[in-house]
Structure 1
Amino acid sequence: MGGFKKFLFRGNLVDLAVAVVVGAAFASLVTDFTKSFIAPLISLLGGEPDYTRLSVKINDTTFPYGIFVTSAITFFITSAIVYFIVVLPTAKIIERLDRHKDVTERPCPQCLSDIPVKARRCRYCTSEVLPATEAPV
């Protein structure tokens, strides 16, 4: 039982659970945003924003392609919103936070593996390298 408890309270599992809950809430938020703002904008430009009623009939078989079209539009809008509102700003913040971090590794001139900046010998190809006080730019 102790192993199961340890598994449940491991940091990455709790982080994953929080991410799923927040992701579900965010998905609802994006869906409502799409219905409230994006769909009316699409209807201003191209008519009806809900294409679920579109279908084609071939030999008494109905192919409701409108469901796919509506889902594809929703997917692309959701992807764009997630990218521009979550991914892009987060990447910019991480880039700013990492800007002043000290460089601790540099590439080996022989095998191009990452080695510590002050290393005198590569741990992978064992060739001798000149120690550096800072990594070359």
Structure 2
Amino acid sequence: MGGFKKFLFRGNLVDLAVAFVVGAAFASLVKDFANSFITPLIALIGGKPDYTRLSLTVDGTTFPYGVFVTSAIAFFITSAIVYFLVVLPTAKLIERMDRGKEATERECPECLAEIPIKARRCRFCTSEIVPLAQTP
């Protein structure tokens, strides 16, 4: 029982559970934002993007391709919202925060892996590395 308890409270599992819950809440937030603001803007320009009634019938079999088209439009709208309102600003913020940081790693000339600046041997390809000259 102790091993199971240790497994449940391991950092990875708790982090994953928290990420899942926050991700679900964030997905709901993005969906509601799209439904409240983006979809009405698109409806102003070109009409409501609901094509769920579109279908194709071949030999008595119905292919409701409109459902896919509506889902694809929703996917692209949601992706654009996430990219422009979350990913891009976050990347700019991280870039701005990392400007003054001193580099702690460098690239191995043999395998191109990231290794510590003071390393004399690559931990990945085990090739010997000439240490960088340290500035006083």
TM-score, normalised by the number of residues in structure 1 = 0.79
Match of 1:62, SS? strand
Task: Spell out the pairing of 1:30-109 with structure 2 (5 A cutoff).
Answer: 30-109=30-109
Distance in 1 (CA, whole Å) between partners of 2:22 and 2:108 is 42
CA 1:70 to 1:114, structure 2 compared with 1: closer, same or farther past 3 Å? Answer: closer
Structure 1 residue runs of 4 or more that deviate by more than 4 Å after TM superposition: 108-115
Quick one: percent identity of the two aligned structures?
73
Partners of 1:82 and 1:67 lie apart in 2 by 22
The corresponding residue for 2:121 is 122
Alignment match, 2:21: 21
Say how many residue pairs are matched: 132
C-alpha offsets along residues 47-84 of structure 1, whole Å, 9 cap, x if unaligned? Answer: 23211111111221111111001100111111111112
Deviation at residue 130 of structure 1 after TM alignment: 5.1
* Alpha-carbon distance in 2 for matches of 1:95, 1:20: 26
Structure 2: state its 5+ residue gaps: none
Structure 1 spans left out of the alignment, 5+ residues: none
Quote how far apart the aligned CAs of 1:92 are: 2.0
Q: Is the 1:106–1:114 Cα contact (8 Å) retained in structure 2?
A: yes
Q: What RMSD, in angstroms, separates the aligned Cα atoms of the two structures?
A: 2.3
TM-score, with structure 2 as normaliser: 0.80
